[in-house]
Amino acid sequence: MKIVEFNTVEELNEAGLNVLRKQIETKKDSLLCLATGSSSTGIYQKLAGKTDDIDSSQLKVIKLDEWAGMPMAHPASCEYYLRENVLTPLQISEERYIGFDSQAADGPAECKRIADFLQSNGPIDVCFLGLGLNGHVAFNEPAETLDPAVRLSKLSNESLNHSSLVDVPVTLSHGYTLGLADILRSKTIILVVHGASKKEIMERLRIAEISTNLPASFLYLHNNAYCYYCEK
């Protein structure tokens, strides 16, 4: 992974847009995996503003992760975020979108459904990720060991204290997530990081030592992964 630094978030967002634009122009039926959360919102908004110039009619999207048990229509769900910021603006049809059902009755079967889709339709062309304050990517949380597969992951206290979870009507403990093996099979990976709150974890990530206690460090194993970082 290479860390690319930007002076402003606007410059970072423009660079992220260019990655997506070039990918879609090169392969109209690209499979995108898109993180939710504030870090990448500006990039998605820029993409949504280019619908007259970018042909998204064949584009496919897979959801990176989801809060298990969260109502799908709740504003804090990853589903709600993707529909608001990506699927609706880009007119991605249901046939071209797959995501975890947060309220699936059978968790292991739901994980298998997503894993089977990736087996048949992967690898992911471009995967956009965010960086947790504890170094997680998706819901691959720091631990002594990491399961690399699609799974239900026990959430850390940092994740459960996320600002978006205020007034959530259910008690959360686990999250559905793509595993690091699925992420690392992506052809291109962009880790988007900005803001003063991420300065400390970025200092740890810069050391470039791979550790299960810093899941994002595994991105150094990928030869086409980039961290787009702005300190502001």
Q: 37-48, pLDDT tens digit by residue?
A: 899 999 999 999
Q: What would the two tokens of residue 200 be?
A: 């400390």
Q: Among this protein's residues, is 136 annotated catalytic?
A: yes
Q: What would the two tokens of residue 228 be?
A: 């787009």
Where are the strands (E) in the chain, listed by range? 2-5, 31-34, 60-63, 65-67, 97-98, 126-130, 151-154, 174-177, 188-194, 225-230
- The mean per-residue pLDDT over the stretch 58-64 comes to 98
What proportion of the chain, given as a percentage, has pLDDT over 90? 95
- The mean per-residue pLDDT over the stretch 29-34 comes to 98
| 230 sits in which H/E element | strand 225-230
Range of the domain at 48: 2-230
Residues in the chain: 232
Within its chain, how far is the Cα of 72 from the centroid? 17
- The mean per-residue pLDDT over the stretch 164-180 comes to 93
**According to the model, what pLDDT value does residue 14 have?**
98
Tens-place pLDDT, residues 77-136:
999 999 999 999 999 999 999 999 999 999 999 999 999 999 999 999 999 999 999 999
Q: How many CA atoms lie within 13 A of 123 on its CB side?
A: 13
Q: For residues 103 and 91, give the distance between their C-alpha atoms in angstroms, rounded to a whole number.
A: 24
**According to the model, what pLDDT value does residue 81 have?**
98
The residue assigned the tokens 């503003």 is 49
- Going by pLDDT thresholds of 50, 70 and 90, the confidence category of residue 139 is very high
- The mean per-residue pLDDT over the stretch 68-73 comes to 96
Tens-place pLDDT, residues 174-187:
999 999 999 999 99
3-state secondary structure 165-227: HCCCCCCCCEEEECCHHHHHCCCEEEEEEECHHHHHHHHHHHCCCCECCEHHHHHHHCCCEEE
Choose, from 66, 79, 125, 141, the residue flagged as catalytic.
141
Q: Among this protein's residues, is 13 annotated catalytic?
A: no
Amino acid at 157: N
Count structural domains, the chain: 1
Q: Among this protein's residues, is 29 annotated catalytic?
A: no
DSSP letter at 84 equals I
**According to the model, what pLDDT value does residue 42 have?**
98
Q: What would the two tokens of residue 115 be?
A: 């894993």
Choose, from 134, 158, 162, 231, the residue flagged as catalytic.
134
Asked if residue 153 lies in contact with residue 4, where contact means CB atoms within 8 angstroms, the answer is: no
Indicate the range of 28-37, 157-166, 193-202, 222-231 predicted with least confidence.
157-166
CATH number of 170's domain: 3.40.50.1360
- Going by pLDDT thresholds of 50, 70 and 90, the confidence category of residue 166 is confident
Region of residue 79 (left: phi > 0; alpha: psi -120 to 50; beta: else): alpha
Choose, from 66, 85, 136, 140, the residue flagged as catalytic.
136
Q: Among this protein's residues, is 162 annotated catalytic?
A: no
Helices (H) and strands (E) in the chain, counts: 7, 10
Would the pLDDT of 163 be above 90? no
